[in-house]
């Protein structure tokens, strides 16, 4: 019997982070941003820093960690036109998870190149749809929320 843990890659935006809600609230309160970043809201400086978590995400990650079954990693893309977003995303992870993901974060637009058993991602973009393990397609009929993901993994 093997004690090897399964590898789980977890996307941030739309999976851990309620980025869409944060963007809507941010640009609604600032006409300049709404006008100047229309269609490229992910280029707004600092936009990734203070977004709220998706409902149930923080608790779910702690449950997965506590299960002892998985090695957990972050796999996120950072907009090329907003290089500070990578730093902001790292700070977000640290603020919400402490050291759970310490040095366990990949910033990539090539998720199909990641090696692991599972990828939890809300999209198929950036290679997620070609991931060679199981793609847990978050926010779909099969996996509409974190409870459904936990039902699959625990």
d(CA 154, CA 94): 24
Is 88 considered catalytic here? no
**How crowded is the C-beta side of 105, counted as CA atoms within 13 Å?**
20
Q: How many residues does the chain have?
A: 154
Q: Given 11, 18, 42, 121, which residue is catalytic?
A: 11
Q: Kindly report the backbone phi and psi dihedral angles of residue 40, in degrees, each rounded to the nearest multiple of 5, phi listed first.
A: -145, 45
Is 18 considered catalytic here? no
Q: Given 13, 18, 88, 122, which residue is catalytic?
A: 13
**What is the token pair recorded at 59?**
């608790």
d(CA 75, CA 12): 7
**What is the token pair recorded at 85?**
């977003």
* Residues annotated as part of the active site: 11, 13
């Amino acid at each position: 019997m093997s004690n090897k843990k399964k590898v789980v890659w977890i996307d941030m935006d739309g999976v851990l982070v309620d980025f869409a809600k944060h963007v809507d609230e941010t640009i609604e309160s600032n006409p300049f941003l709404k006008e100047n970043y229309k269609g490229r809201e992910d280029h707004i400086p600092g936009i990734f820093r203070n977004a709220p978590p998706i409902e149930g995400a923080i608790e779910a990650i702690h449950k997965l960690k506590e299960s002892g079954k998985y090695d957990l990693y972050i796999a996120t893309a950072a907009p090329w036109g907003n290089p500070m977003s990578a730093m902001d995303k790292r700070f977000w992870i640290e603020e919400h998870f402490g050291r759970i993901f310490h040095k366990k974060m990949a910033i990539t637009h090539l998720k199909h190149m990641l090696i692991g058993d599972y990828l939890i991602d809300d999209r198929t973009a950036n290679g997620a749809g070609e991931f060679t393990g199981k793609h847990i397609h978050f926010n779909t009929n099969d996996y509409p929320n974190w409870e459904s993901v936990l039902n699959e993994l625990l």
